[in-house]
Amino acid sequence: MSKPIAVVTGGAGFIGSHMVDLLLDRGYRVRVVDNLSGGRRDNLAHHAGNPDLECRWADIRGLEHDDAIFSGARYVFHFAGIGDIVPSIERPVEYMDVNVQGTVRVLECARHAGVAKLVYAASSSCYGLADTPTREDHPIAPQYPYALSKYQGEQAAFHWHKVYGLPVNAICIFNAYGTRVRTTGAYGAVFGVFFRQKLAGKPFTVVGDGTQRRDFIYASDVARAFLAAAETDIVGERFNVGAGDPQPVNRLVALLGGEVVYVPKRPGEPDCTHADITKIRTRLGWEPTVPFEEGVARMAARIEDWKDAPLWDPASIAVATKTWFEHLGRQG
């Protein structure tokens, strides 16, 4: 009996590579599409020589509806896209092009291939400054173009489900973290910032007073949620994925150990993100399994992975977030 085929867009990226790990472990043949703008070949290097893994280094915006890489696929897991807040404020057209039109290209490929399910990587940023814990039916209120582009990509996915009958589910990811977490030239994810600062012996740049809480969820747990959303008979649903146990940024600082310097709190950021995960627990039987302390320890054991990440300090952060304050501050 031949192995089932899964396509992972953005499969060389942070969460995408964890998805590839899980699928190969579960006996799938995996085809990756990634243009390496955010992903890295090294994220998949431990699978070198595996005949069940095929990689194409290409941009999703160049996909044609009959692309052979989707042929015979049972599932498509769509992670490909661009992230970060500040670049989305500065380059909104690019974000709409990649995260919306690129998604439409993937949807068309999945539709013409007749896949059994496409699972879209949605973002909890669509909820904006949300009430907590946040349910899937919370009002949508994107605060910046990245959030808007991810939500419009999700809307497109559900529209393809409604109009064309493409079986779709969406996983709305809260604050994912773990090994291989993305680091770029843009000021962004707290883990990459802090690990690089610790390697350099520099103070951690904590936003505000550090009491803000984030619903951190480990990447391998996220991957299991995506597989559950693919293998279920349920279609046309969004499922929140978080640990359901928000952690203060100060707790991360305490686990890592080191001096702290504080930088101004930023507009458009919630004091707390907290996923209500009742729906995915009850309907898909999914549970988070990696405690926060264990997840941080796993990352700390590989701290050298962040040696080439950007090294931030209060002055460089102020320059990098100037656009953020300028545009999001006017929202009041």
Taking the C-alpha atoms of residue 138 and residue 135, their distance in angstroms, rounded to an integer, is: 6
pLDDT band at 144 (very low <50, low <70, confident <90, very high): very high
pLDDT band at 325 (very low <50, low <70, confident <90, very high): confident
For 64-83, what is each residue's pLDDT tens digit? 999 999 999 999 999 999 99
**What is the DSSP code string of 123-144?**
EGGGG-S--SSBPTTSPP---S
For 147-173, what is each residue's pLDDT tens digit? 999 999 999 999 999 999 999 999 999
For 208-221, what is each residue's pLDDT tens digit? 999 999 999 999 99
Per cent of the chain over pLDDT 70 is 97
DSSP 8-state secondary structure symbol assigned to residue 27: T
Helical ranges in 176-238 per DSSP H = 190-200, 219-231
Domain ranges of the chain: 5-176+216-241, 180-214+244-271+290-331
Per cent of the chain over pLDDT 90 is 88
Residue 179 pLDDT exceeds 90: yes
pLDDT at residue number 50: 98
List the Cα angle 246/271/248 in 5-degree steps: 40
Number of H helices, E strands in the chain: 12, 13
Right CATH number for 180-214+244-271+290-331 from 3.20.20.80, 3.90.25.10, 3.20.20.140, 3.40.50.300? 3.90.25.10
**What is the DSSP code string of 77-127?**
EE------HHHHHH-HHHHHIIIIIHHHHHHHHHHHHT-SEEEEEEEGGGG
pLDDT band at 330 (very low <50, low <70, confident <90, very high): low
List the Cα angle 310/178/121 in 5-degree steps: 100
Catalytic residue among 146, 151, 177, 218, which? 146
For 9-39, what is each residue's pLDDT tens digit? 999 999 999 999 999 999 999 999 999 999 9
Q: Is 66 exposed, middle or buried (0-12, 13-18, 19+ CB in 10 A)?
A: exposed
| Residue 151: active-site member | no
Inter-CA distances, 170 with 66, 87, 115, 202, Å: 23, 24, 15, 39
For 269-306, what is each residue's pLDDT tens digit? 889 999 999 999 999 999 999 999 999 999 999 999 99
Taking the C-alpha atoms of residue 58 and residue 67, their distance in angstroms, rounded to an integer, is: 12
> Domain 5-176+216-241: which topology?
Rossmann fold (3.40.50)
pLDDT band at 321 (very low <50, low <70, confident <90, very high): confident
**H/E element, 171:** strand 168-173
Residue 188 pLDDT exceeds 80: no
Taking the C-alpha atoms of residue 103 and residue 101, their distance in angstroms, rounded to an integer, is: 5
| Selected residue with higher pLDDT from 9 and 87 | 9
